[in-house]
Amino acid sequence: MIQDIGSKQYRCDFEKKYPKHDDILIYARGRDFLMKRTKEGYEFTTFADTYINELFDENGNITSEVWKGSVRSRYPHMGIYRTIAIDSQGYYIVDTDEIFKADGSLEYVGNEILRHYKPVYMSFGAATAAQIARWHEGNRYCGRCGGKMVPSDRERAMVCTKCQNMVFPKICPAVTISVIHEDRLLLVRNRNSAFKKYAQVAGYVEIGETFEDTVRREAYEETGLMLKNITYYKNQPWAMTDAHMIGFVAEVEGRPDIKVQREELLEARWFCADEIPPDIADRSLTYEMIRNFRDKYIKKTGESKRYKEFYNLFDIGT
């Protein structure tokens, strides 16, 4: 999954540091962000791609005096913020594109590229930074009094300059469900999302619900199916939609007849393991769960047959 970054160390501690010339610098515009086009594809932008690169010393560092003096005098209204780090490389966000060199190599790219970009740790870092950038953009003014919001100096929060109201990052919990009936997995296609490939039944947690309540409600609302044996699988931060996904596996209780909620879904259908497309390479929790059903089911049975101990497909026991 996208957060599985091997030996790299993800650091989300709040720390104010001046950047290095090779730190990642993200300028996000909605779900798009600037990337540098090369012969090999796209690369994430760094401070070396900006006009202030000349102010870094020979070791790639910048002093507080230079930053507060030369940089701020050139760009007095620029907002720049350190989000996270992976190992020693920081991921910064900036609220203007005027500091980037106008050399024709920069393009806006949709965040769908992060589903396949390599190395994976850079996809995860950039996605997380872009999520924080969207949170900043969506909280420029206070929802309580209308005052201007600014980043806190002490923690990851936006603070109102008038009433001191504090707003913390937007993280929306949502469930994704492997709904299984005998030897088949339920897959759906969403009507209202730009992502039109087959996925699992999924949805956001409502106020007052447990995760299991959400699993039951979403499955019934979207497909008319009742569920039993609801079992937790894994969870995943999913910055592409400002969500945190919680995966569950469940069996159908009663008849497996599907009643598609047309306002939400284009299609919902049952798939045997050998019918699931072989080219699923997405880094999401949903697609790991689909792959688990497809690959482990075929490995354990040799063909598409009834397999009662379906929990073993997900290595979560019964």
What would the pLDDT profile of 195-230 be if each residue is shown by its tens digit?
778 999 999 999 999 999 999 999 999 999 999 999
Q: Is the pLDDT of residue 46 over 90?
A: yes
- pLDDT band of 294, cuts 50, 70, 90: confident
Residue 293, domain member (yes or no): yes
Instruction: Report the distance separating Cα 220 and Cα 215, nearest Å.
Output: 9
Confidence of residue 281 (pLDDT cuts 50, 70, 90): low
Q: In this structure, are 99 and 179 located in the same domain?
A: no
Which pLDDT score, from 0 to 100, does residue 306 have?
41
Q: Are residues 118 and 15 in the same domain?
A: yes
pLDDT tops 70 at residue 318 = no
User: Are 187 and 198 a contacting pair, CB within 8 Å?
Assistant: yes
Query: Does a structural domain hold residue 55?
Result: yes
In a domain? residue 126: yes
Question: Do both 23 and 128 map to the same domain?
Answer: yes
Residue 197: predicted pLDDT: 84
How do residues 130-165 score in pLDDT, each as one tens digit? Answer: 999 999 999 999 999 999 999 999 999 999 999 999
194 and 297 housed in the same domain: yes
User: Higher model confidence: residue 176 or residue 306?
Assistant: 176
Check: CB of residue 46 under 8 Å from CB of residue 126: no
Tokens 């689909």 correspond to 290
The count of domains in the chain is 2
307 band by pLDDT with thresholds 50, 70 and 90: very low
**Among the three residues 83, 115, 137, which one is the final residue of a domain in this structure?**
137
The 10s digit of each residue's pLDDT in 64-109 is 999 999 998 999 888 999 999 999 999 999 999 999 998 889 999 9
pTM beyond 0.75, yes or no: yes
Dump the DSSP string for 10-34.
EE------PPPTTSEEE-EETTEEE
Domain end, chosen from 90, 122, 137, is at 137
| 206 and 111 assigned to the same domain | no
Please, what is the average pLDDT of the chain? 90
Confidence of residue 274 (pLDDT cuts 50, 70, 90): confident
φ, ψ of residue 44 in degrees (nearest 5): -75, 145
Tell me the average pLDDT across 26-37. Answer: 91
Q: Do the domain assignments include residue 252? A: yes
Do residue 58 and residue 182 come from a single domain?
no
Can you tell me whether residue 46 is helix, strand or coil? strand
Is 2 part of a structural domain of the chain? no
Contact criterion met (CB below 8 Å) for 191 and 156: no
What are the tokens at 309?
């101990």
Query: What are 48's two structure tokens?
Result: 């070396």
Q: Does 155 reside within a domain?
A: no
Residue 315 pLDDT level (bands cut at 50, 70, 90): low
Q: Are 186 and 287 contained in the same domain? A: yes
Grade residue 31 by pLDDT with cuts at 50, 70 and 90.
confident
Taking 80 as the threshold, does the pLDDT of residue 299 lie above it?
no
Residues 57 and 113 in one domain: yes
Domain residues for 213?
Answer: 172-314
* CATH number of the domain enclosing 307: 3.90.79.10
**231 and 305 housed in the same domain:** yes
CA torsion 32→35→38→42, rounded to 10°? -60
Q: Does residue 96 lie in a domain region?
A: yes
Does 25 lie in the same domain as 87? Answer: yes
Residues 117 and 181 in one domain: no
Tell me 159's DSSP state.
E
Same domain, 189 and 244: yes
For 187-193, what is the mean pLDDT?
88
